[in-house]
Amino acid sequence: MKIRQAMLALVVLAVGVTLTSVAAAGPEAAKQRVAIDVAGGQSFVLYPLQAGALKRDSGPSTADPRSGRSFEREGQQVSIYNVSYTLSGKLGSLTIRERNEWVDVSQRNARGFDYRPGVAIGTWKVVSGTGAYAKVVGGGRTAHAGMGKQWFIRLEGYLTVR
């Protein structure tokens, strides 16, 4: 009988320690898959691609591209840019840092512009936020298509509200 009581006491103690550890850790924040479309570097739409804390948002955007450096990779000219975006939506603002690599897709300049059409891929991450984005962390991959004033960016990845 004493052995059973001792075992029961150990089980109760173990459950108590486990519950205390879980309570101290708090709820784990869930990653939420999102997409952000930026048109012409002037406006954005954030789309949740799965349910979570972040909701659809839109508004103006600004881009601050750092001067790029170019080099040749396997015979193709590649230009690397580090860009900081500020997305100012109805729910708050989000600052994102991106690194992308551009390549030309044509030898001819886009009609009416002095540069060639190109595409880029890269990575991005959240630097800071306000409002609903104040405690957001995360990042992902990015793709660009640029041809004169028609310039599109798609950022996809995972964000977490901590």
Provide the CATH number for the domain around residue 149: 2.40.350
DSSP E strand boundaries for the chain: 31-39, 43-48, 57-65, 69-73, 76-88, 93-104, 118-129, 136-147, 150-161
| Residue of 142, 46, 152 whose CA lies nearest to 91 | 46
Rounded to two decimals, the pTM is 0.77
Flag whether 12 is in a domain.
no
Amino acid at 125: K
Helix segments in the chain, DSSP class H: 2-25
Residue 20 lies in a domain: no
What residue numbers bound the domain in which 124 lies?
28-161
156, 34 contact by CB (below 8 A): yes
Tens digits of per-residue pLDDT, 125-161?
999 999 999 999 999 999 999 876 678 999 999 999 9
pLDDT of res. 1? 53
CA 156/CA 154 separation, integer angstroms: 6
Predicted confidence band of residue 114 (pLDDT cuts 50, 70, 90)? low
Task: Say how many domains are in the chain.
Answer: 1
- 19, part of any domain: no
Per DSSP, the three-state class of 7 is: helix
* Domain contains 143: yes
The 10s digit of each residue's pLDDT in 73-107 is: 999 999 999 999 999 999 999 999 999 999 988 77
Average per-residue pLDDT for the chain: 83
- The CA-based angle 44-47-53, given to 5 degrees, is 120
Look-up of token digits 């990042």: 139
The per-residue pLDDT for 29 is: 77
Q: Is 97 domain-assigned?
A: yes
Residue 28: the pLDDT is 62
